[in-house]
Amino acid sequence: MNIFLKVLSVFLLLHTNLAQAAHDDITGKEKALLETNQAYTPSLGDIMIGIQLRHAKLWYSGLASNWKLAEYKLEEISEAFEDIKKYQPNFDGKPTAEMIVRITSEPVKKLEQAIKAKDQPAFIKSFDEMSNACNACHTVNGHDFISIQRPTAQPLTNQRFTLH
Ligand code: HEC
């Protein structure tokens, strides 16, 4: 073997080992990340904060007749309800997953219809019905001190609701 080939083979061996070590390191990191993700379960209170914000944004979308945004907000709220079913199916000994279906299905459906029809009076009526549903669930869960209403001021000023 000439010197050039010797150097090359040493280099290749070293390179393969280094690449393997880097690969092991990455998979180690990925594993740790995966374990962290699996360990994280959002609390019901955290999911509710997201719902609260979207509930307020839904209101201003409807008031501005921004029906695409309203549709999007309602979808986000529905997804959060799905998250509750997935991550917090029982809360404090109560079947949260079943309650979500029983209490929110009807108001969600009515809101969907109002938004689809671009019917603002129907939207306002079904929005209030949704807020009543939020409160009904809070009451059943012994949290009647958390009372939801129509928002009276925009929660954030960095998003425009009226587009035209
Ligand atoms: C399945 C029943 C249920 C429904 C439906 C429900 N909630 Fe809740 N909500 C709860 C429970 C239980 C808590 C208390 C959670 C805790 O203590 O961790 C809560 C807490 C909250 C909180 C307090 C969070 C905080 O940290 O300040 C807000 C705000 C809230 N909900 C908003 C809403 C809104 C808005 C809706 C309707 C769009 C809604 N919730 C629908 C059961 C429900």
Three-class secondary structure of residue 91 per DSSP: strand
| Range with the poorest average pLDDT among 19-23, 26-30, 55-59, 105-109 | 19-23
| Range with the poorest average pLDDT among 4-18, 58-72, 90-104, 112-126 | 4-18
What's residue 14's pLDDT?
57
Q: Are residues 54 and 130 in the same domain?
A: yes
Closest atom of ligand 1 relative to the 96 alpha carbon = 1
Residues 6+ apart with CB under 8 A from 59: 127, 150, 151
Q: Are residues 48 and 36 in the same domain?
A: no
Pocket test for ligand 1, best of 78, 102, 138, 141 (most atoms within 8 A of CB): 138
Q: Tokens 């938004």 sit at which residue?
A: 115
Task: Assess whether the C-beta atom of 54 lies below 6 angstroms from ligand 1.
Answer: no
Q: Are residues 79 and 16 in the same domain?
A: no
- Residue-averaged pLDDT of the chain: 88
Count CB neighbours of 1 within 10 A. 8
Task: Assess whether the C-beta atom of 47 lies below 6 angstroms from ligand 1.
Answer: no
What's residue 32's pLDDT?
73
The alpha carbon of 7 and the centre of ligand 1 are apart by a number of angstroms equal to 68
Mean pLDDT of 31-54: 85
pLDDT digits over 88-140, tens only? Answer: 999 999 999 999 999 999 999 999 999 999 999 999 999 999 999 999 999 99
Mean pLDDT of 62-90: 97
The alpha carbon of 88 and the centre of ligand 1 are apart by a number of angstroms equal to 12
Pocket test for ligand 1, best of 46, 58, 84, 146 (most atoms within 8 A of CB): 146
Tell me the C-alpha distance between 82 and 35, whole Å: 23
Residue nearest to atom 9 of ligand 1 (CA): 138
How many domains does one find in the chain?
2
Range of the domain at 31: 1-40
Tell me the C-alpha distance between 11 and 24, whole Å: 20
Q: Are residues 104 and 33 in the same domain?
A: no
What's residue 43's pLDDT?
95
In a domain, 131, yes or no: yes
Q: Are residues 104 and 118 in the same domain?
A: yes
Q: Are residues 16 and 69 in the same domain?
A: no
Q: Specify the pTM.
A: 0.82
Residue 94's DSSP bridge partners are: 91
